[in-house]
Structure 1
Amino acid sequence: MFTNRLFNILVPLISVFLGLLAGAIIMLAFGYNPINGYQALWNGAFGSGYFFGETIRQVTPYILTGLAVAFAFRSGLFNIGAEGQVIVGWVAAVWVGSSFEAPMIIHLPLAVLAAAFAGALWGFLPGLLKATKGVHEVIITIMLNYIALHVSNYMIRHVLSDGGDSSDPIANSASLASDWLMQITEYSRMHYGILIALFAAFIMWFILEKTTAGYEFRAVGFNPDASKYAGMNVKKNIITSMIISGAFAGLAGAMEGLGTFGYMPSHSAFTNLGFDGIAVALLGGNTGLGIVISAFLFGALKVGALNMPTTAGVPSELVEIVIALIIFFVASSYIIRWALLRLRKEEK
């Protein structure tokens, strides 16, 4: 009944449908019209050039954090530290972007590479501890998230500004923003970072599917003991995988610092970009193309939901519940996968 290709398409589609259905039931239970609510969500994401630009702006870091989580997962690792890697990447990008001026052809790539390097370094630490000491990557990456948050706040107040709550603005030569994109999207904050994110998705696909190193990453992820027996350097692959994963997340921070904001504010809490990237990766099946599509969905939900309280009268708290339900069903897609597998076995 189900081919493997159809099976991989059905699982995320059913997850999203169940999430939207549960959200509709919640809205009905509280006396709101779900049709009006979802219509407001759609218009808030795609109803004008401005909203569409804002959706693409939100999609950009989601692609990169989804890639970060997925790359580690394909290598048998669970990178919960994408959030911290985003933060240090943001700090590094803004630091380079605001410290000096140079021709854009030099300054912008340097700021982007600084973010990738900072994220890679933040990924290297748990990778090294996992490979050499057997420390579980989930524990160490969660701890590093808090270190990144508080170190970044210190850097903002004492290094990147004169005691303020936000860094100095970046130079124009380090900015991803574009007057042309602003004009065609009615002055949204869409920027050229979307091109970097799409290229990163291609890079992930190429590494994992078309290179010997990618084959080793996937082999170590499936069975590290068998990979070691086959002559692969398991420790090296674990460390390298976390470095690449961290670099993707660091780039997401660059998108915020060099594109969306042009500076870095201090944070009293996490940005949640890294944590949302987990759901993006799960829904996208940990593949490059799937992550681009799922990031587009999550970006549309986040931006479109802002229109629901004003247009459909749905309270913002209820909007958050609806989005959380969708994420819940996405995260529990393995139950749907199990049900479809049982159905396929019965058909045979």
Structure 2
Amino acid sequence: MSSRMKNIIVPILAVLLGIIVGTIIMLITGYDAGAAFIALWDGAFGDIYYTGETIRQVTPYILAGLAVGFAFKTGLFNIGVEGQLIVGWLAAVWVGVAFELPKVIHLPLAVLAAAAAGALWAFIPGLLKAKFRVHEVIVTIMMNYIALHVANYIIRTVLSEKSDRTADVFPSASLRSPFLEGLTDYSRLHWGIIVALICVFIMWFILEKTSRGYELKAVGFNQHASEYAGMSVKSNIILSMVISGAFAGLAGAMEGLGTFGYASIRGGFTGVGFDGIAVALLGGNTPIGIILAAILFGSLKVGALNMPLEAGVPNELVDIIIALIVFFVAASYMIRIFIDRIGKKGAK
């Protein structure tokens, strides 16, 4: 079996195994697994409202997955997507509430501000990695907490006059659309899904169709060989983190300008940035794979909210299923060994 076919089969098997083990857990604990999955489907795609909410949830997952996947493709582990998302969210809302401009100027400006903020936040660990060989995982984890608390401080003291949230962004900076809301029975679906799909194309184009993308992947495969070939390893490490951070910042803009329309004091992380790691892993760090993984995770997250209502099943069981899927993806070498053995038996 070809490696490409294995790369397709392994995530599918990981999802199936996660669902099977999750089903066994539900049966052991006395819940009706069939009713739970029907409620899950109804909660994600049962009517046009839930479908709109699912697409809305998929949007930041795509961008967070792209952020993680782009860094992975170039040999880096950007675990700071959550922090970059938060500063992107803050920057987008800041521009959205600071002044009012024509929408054709204001909305792109707010979105670009988010991308720039996320890129700047990722530039710091990229620079430390390139210049001083400081491991990016450690730095990005720490910067997640810095982003959270700095954002909370700015919201409370600068943007909201000691309130727990900012004012709503001006309509000229909003991604919300009466057309989409009316089309989906007043869900929170917004135009951010178009931004996310454009970013999918951008990632594919950079990595597959440009010489810079070739360099970035080469540095990810082997830094020493890339340096010997005349490539600038340091500049490519920094560039990779900057682009990754820009995707993460855009994920924050989707929340700040679309889903919520404001920024608020947070007692903890959003979770989207960390879920982006799972999305990238399941999607094999490829643009199309990330879209499919984001659809799966988004539908699971939104559909889970319906499980306690229709089936009396705790929605935390979906988190268990997601964790199992990630586990089987992380342990994909076992699945590959199983596939190889089946292939050998078939050949005999």
Q: TM-score, normalised by structure 2?
A: 0.97
8 Å contact from structure 1 (residues 90, 256) kept in 2? yes
Residues of 2 paired with 1:53 and 1:279: CA distance?
22
Residues of 2 paired with 1:53 and 1:251: CA distance?
20
User: Which residue number in structure 2 is paired with residue 248 of structure 1?
Assistant: 247
User: Which residue number in structure 2 is paired with residue 108 of structure 1?
Assistant: 107
- 1:167 positional shift: 1.3
**Match of 1:270, SS?**
coil
**Match of 1:231, SS?**
coil
Residues of 2 paired with 1:69 and 1:345: CA distance?
35
Residues of 2 paired with 1:111 and 1:216: CA distance?
31
TM alignment of 1:291-330, pairs within 5 A:
291-330=290-329
Question: Does the alignment pair 1:277 with 2:294?
Answer: no
What CA deviation, in whole Å up to 9, does each residue of 1:273-293 have, x standing for no partner?
Answer: 111000100111101111011
User: Which residue number in structure 1 is paired with residue 98 of structure 2?
Assistant: 99
User: Which residue number in structure 1 is paired with residue 215 of structure 2?
Assistant: 216
8 Å contact from structure 2 (residues 226, 233) kept in 1? yes
User: Which residue number in structure 2 is paired with residue 53 of structure 1?
Assistant: 52
- 1:197 positional shift: 0.1
What CA deviation, in whole Å up to 9, does each residue of 1:283-315 have, x standing for no partner?
Answer: 111011110111000000000011111101102
**Match of 1:159, SS?**
helix
**Match of 1:130, SS?**
helix
User: Which residue number in structure 2 is paired with residue 7 of structure 1?
Assistant: 6
TM alignment of 1:126-275, pairs within 5 A:
126-275=125-274
- 1:336 positional shift: 1.9
* Code of the aligned partner of 2:67: A
Residues of 2 paired with 1:331 and 1:256: CA distance?
29
What CA deviation, in whole Å up to 9, does each residue of 1:2-25 have, x standing for no partner?
Answer: 233322210110000000001100
Instruction: Give the length in aligned residue pairs.
Output: 347
User: Which residue number in structure 1 is paired with residue 42 of structure 2?
Assistant: 43
8 Å contact from structure 1 (residues 308, 319) kept in 2? no
**1:127–1:161 distance in 2 versus 1, CA, 3 Å:** same
8 Å contact from structure 1 (residues 83, 274) kept in 2? yes
**Match of 2:185, SS?**
coil
- 1:209 positional shift: 0.4
- 1:333 positional shift: 2.9
**1:320–1:284 distance in 2 versus 1, CA, 3 Å:** closer
8 Å contact from structure 1 (residues 26, 322) kept in 2? no
**1:237–1:344 distance in 2 versus 1, CA, 3 Å:** farther
8 Å contact from structure 1 (residues 93, 115) kept in 2? yes
What CA deviation, in whole Å up to 9, does each residue of 1:148-196 have, x standing for no partner?
Answer: 0000000110111111111121000000000010011111000000000
- 1:320 positional shift: 3.1
Q: TM-score, normalised by structure 1?
A: 0.97
**1:219–1:346 distance in 2 versus 1, CA, 3 Å:** farther
- 1:346 positional shift: 6.6
8 Å contact from structure 2 (residues 300, 318) kept in 1? no
8 Å contact from structure 2 (residues 301, 318) kept in 1? no
**Match of 1:269, SS?**
coil
- 1:266 positional shift: 1.0
- 1:347 positional shift: 6.1
Residues of 1 paired with 2:346 and 2:130: CA distance?
43
8 Å contact from structure 1 (residues 279, 331) kept in 2? no
**Match of 2:159, SS?**
coil
Residues of 1 paired with 2:142 and 2:69: CA distance?
20
Residues of 2 paired with 1:57 and 1:312: CA distance?
24
8 Å contact from structure 2 (residues 156, 162) kept in 1? yes
- 1:337 positional shift: 3.1
* Code of the aligned partner of 1:314: V
User: Which residue number in structure 2 is paired with residue 78 of structure 1?
Assistant: 77
**1:270–1:225 distance in 2 versus 1, CA, 3 Å:** same
8 Å contact from structure 2 (residues 281, 326) kept in 1? no
* Code of the aligned partner of 1:192: W
User: Which stretch of the first structure deviates more once superposed, 313-322 or 89-98?
Assistant: 313-322
**Match of 1:77, SS?**
coil
* Code of the aligned partner of 1:253: G
What CA deviation, in whole Å up to 9, does each residue of 1:23-48 have, x standing for no partner?
Answer: 10010001111111111101100000
User: Which residue number in structure 1 is paired with residue 64 of structure 2?
Assistant: 65
8 Å contact from structure 1 (residues 57, 194) kept in 2? yes
**1:18–1:251 distance in 2 versus 1, CA, 3 Å:** same
